[in-house]
Structure 1
Amino acid sequence: MAGRERARMVAAGGDHKVTPAELFFDLVFVYAITQVTALMAAHPSPVRVVGAMTVLALLWWCWCAFAWLGNVVRADSGALFAVLVTVMTVVFVVSLAVPEVFADAPGGLPAPVVFVVCYGLVRTLHLVSYWVSSPGDTALRATLRRTALLSVAPPFVLLLMGCAYDGPPRLLLGAAAIVLRCSGPRPTALLVGGVCCLAAGPLVALVPALLAMALLAAAVTALVTAHDHRARAAAAG
């Protein structure tokens, strides 16, 4: 009986504050988001920047899903704490795979497959956590079923298919997964109410990551323009 009580979700009160568990959870996502800049810096090009934005969007949605869940139940006790520890472990593995998502290095496990499988696991844990947190909410569970069928499973299949290709085909399948993800049920449909309790650590990492993407895109554009000018000058000479 005591074990069953510890396994239950603990509802968050109105005076709930950010806990060390939530801060550490954010820190893991911060590291994963900063790895996106390494993904772009390896082979700077417009295609790589677009691919990095796809990876960044997937990571951002994963974090937002648990940020909304932290509004409903406490993250430092009950079953959600075990879920957060599992998600942190999976996201740390994701962060190690991010720099090789589009250019897998020889040896070891294939980074694209590791990234996609871990992403699917995080999204599944998110849905399971919501399912367990509200056992008597039929409307919420109906929304969860629609989310799983429309916003989780189809994008996951497309991302997994993309692992079999290199270059533009993988990027196109990733973009299609993003479109399906956006066209499904909105994450806010799972929000019970109030303000999210998880800290905004990933927001701090998101700003410099976006700035780095913008600067890299500008640098690539300048290099392409300079190359075109030299080519025209050489042709005219």
Structure 2
Amino acid sequence: MTSEIDTANAEGGQVRASTLELFFDLVFVFTMTQLTHVFTHHPGWEALGQVALLFGVIWWMYSGYVWLTNEVAPNSSTRRTFLLLGMFGFFVLALAIPDAFHGTGIAFGIGYILVNTVHTAMFYANGGASATVAIKRIAPLNALAAGLVLAGGFAHGWPQYLCWAIAFAVQVLSPYLVDTGDFVVRASHFCERHGLVIIVAIGESVVSIGAGLAGEKLTVPLVANVALGLALAYVLWWAYFGMDDERGEHALASVPDRARSRPGVLAYGYALYPLLVGIIVAAAGIKMSIAHGNEAASVATAAALSGGVALYFLGQFFFRLALRLPRPWSRFIAAVAVAATIPIGVVWVAWAQLAALVAVAYLAVIVDDLVTLRTGQHSAYL
């Protein structure tokens, strides 16, 4: 480990996350809160589409900053200043999220341009030789996406959706349009940083529990609902950090340096997208149902609660596939199983759906863990 740290420092990169990066992630908490608000304000398919689109373009650049700090350690005043400037850009994006489709799209676009510019400039000026070559290849596509986001901010109606959808498509396709093999991926830092993002996102579900109880009188049934909500947040945490976090780092580290960028973007870029959207939607479901546990839930609320957890497991399914981890199919089965709890909240009461959701999700995770232990594998928690 000492040798790895010395090598990384000499190249300007990192092997572990810094406290400044943890500070940077506070903006991500606010971003998740704002996206949850978008869904809870008018729950339904349109809101889900807006959340998926907004988070899609944001996630691409936010993950891009993980790639950036993986290569460019914030170990000087200049680097820290520019990183904070990027943090400011993300904060502007987050502020603009609630009305991005109805008036604040321009601010969203300007914030995105700032985030994109700082990212490219820091990579180009401070990255190693190979990273500089890589950013030169992908920067034009990032700039095109940023321009489309800004153009969408000036548009209204379907042209706005179209501009932002094309921007998202450009981002998703860019790793296949240019060679990204020159990006350096230090597995320990890279995996830890993305893991911290997941923790921050799960924290939003805890925040949603508290937000959904504002002004409510504390009663025994209400406290029981809170316990179920916290249990669900714990299950989401355990599902990833019980085994997959550690196994993912080992799997990525075993890939030759030059070949790491492709599985890195597949597992920690593409696969984490549905996983994180799932957390946002599930948090919205918790927020809308937690204070009304003794009542039947609306279809939108029930679908958000269980459907969000299903998306989370689906993201883990793709994560395991990308890194060739054992039993990806078990997470797919878990996704189907938790989605099947949706009718419980609609035809009965919300607390029953939440209880069934926790039981089914936890059972799926425990069974998978037991199978893992029988194969002789272990982790820091098992």
Structure 1-normalised TM-score? 0.73
Instruction: State whether residues 70 and 186 of structure 2, in contact with CA within 8 Å, keep that contact through their aligned partners in structure 1.
Output: yes
Superposed counterparts of 1:184-223, under 5 Å: 184-185=174-175, 189=181, 191-195=183-187, 196=189, 199=193, 200-207=195-202, 208=205, 210-213=278-281, 219=300
2-structure distance, mates of 1:70, 1:157: 24
2-structure distance, mates of 1:122, 1:185: 19
* 1:25 matched residue in structure 2: 24
Q: Which amino acid aligns with 1:162?
A: G
C-alpha distance 165-193 of structure 1, shift in aligned 2 (>3 A): closer
* 1:178 matched residue in structure 2: 168
Moved more, 47-56 or 164-173: 164-173
1:62-87 Cα distance to aligned partner (Å, 9 max, x none): 22111122222322434321111111
* 2:66 matched residue in structure 1: 67
The answer as to 2:113 corresponding to 1:113 is no
After TM superposition, give the deviation of residue 25 of structure 1 in Å.
Answer: 0.6
1-structure distance, mates of 2:159, 2:166: 11
* 2:13 matched residue in structure 1: 12
* Length, aligned pairs only: 203
C-alpha distance 158-33 of structure 1, shift in aligned 2 (>3 A): same
The answer as to 2:33 corresponding to 1:34 is yes
The answer as to 2:131 corresponding to 1:124 is no
2-structure distance, mates of 1:149, 1:169: 22
- Whose helix fraction is larger, Structure 1's or Structure 2's? 2
Unaligned 5+ segments in structure 1 are 1-8, 105-110, 223-237
Q: Which amino acid aligns with 1:30?
A: V
2-structure distance, mates of 1:163, 1:68: 27
Instruction: State whether residues 12 and 73 of structure 2, in contact with CA within 8 Å, keep that contact through their aligned partners in structure 1.
Output: yes
1-structure distance, mates of 2:60, 2:29: 13
Q: Which structure's relative contact order is higher, taking Cα pairs within 8 Å and 6+ residues apart? A: 1
1-structure distance, mates of 2:62, 2:26: 11
Instruction: State whether residues 148 and 164 of structure 2, in contact with CA within 8 Å, keep that contact through their aligned partners in structure 1.
Output: yes
2-structure distance, mates of 1:85, 1:43: 33
The answer as to 2:228 corresponding to 1:160 is no
Instruction: State whether residues 30 and 201 of structure 1, in contact with CA within 8 Å, keep that contact through their aligned partners in structure 2.
Output: no
The answer as to 2:138 corresponding to 1:147 is yes
The answer as to 2:153 corresponding to 1:169 is no
C-alpha distance 84-190 of structure 1, shift in aligned 2 (>3 A): farther
Instruction: State whether residues 10 and 77 of structure 1, in contact with CA within 8 Å, keep that contact through their aligned partners in structure 2.
Output: no
C-alpha distance 173-121 of structure 1, shift in aligned 2 (>3 A): same
After TM superposition, give the deviation of residue 188 of structure 1 in Å.
Answer: 5.5
After TM superposition, give the deviation of residue 29 of structure 1 in Å.
Answer: 1.8
What SS does structure 2 have at the residue aligned with 1:154? helix
Identity over aligned residues, as a percent? 26
What SS does structure 2 have at the residue aligned with 1:193? coil
After TM superposition, give the deviation of residue 92 of structure 1 in Å.
Answer: 1.6
C-alpha distance 205-219 of structure 1, shift in aligned 2 (>3 A): farther
After TM superposition, give the deviation of residue 178 of structure 1 in Å.
Answer: 0.7
Aligned-residue CA RMSD (Å): 2.9
1-structure distance, mates of 2:75, 2:24: 11
After TM superposition, give the deviation of residue 179 of structure 1 in Å.
Answer: 0.8
Q: Which amino acid aligns with 1:194?
A: R
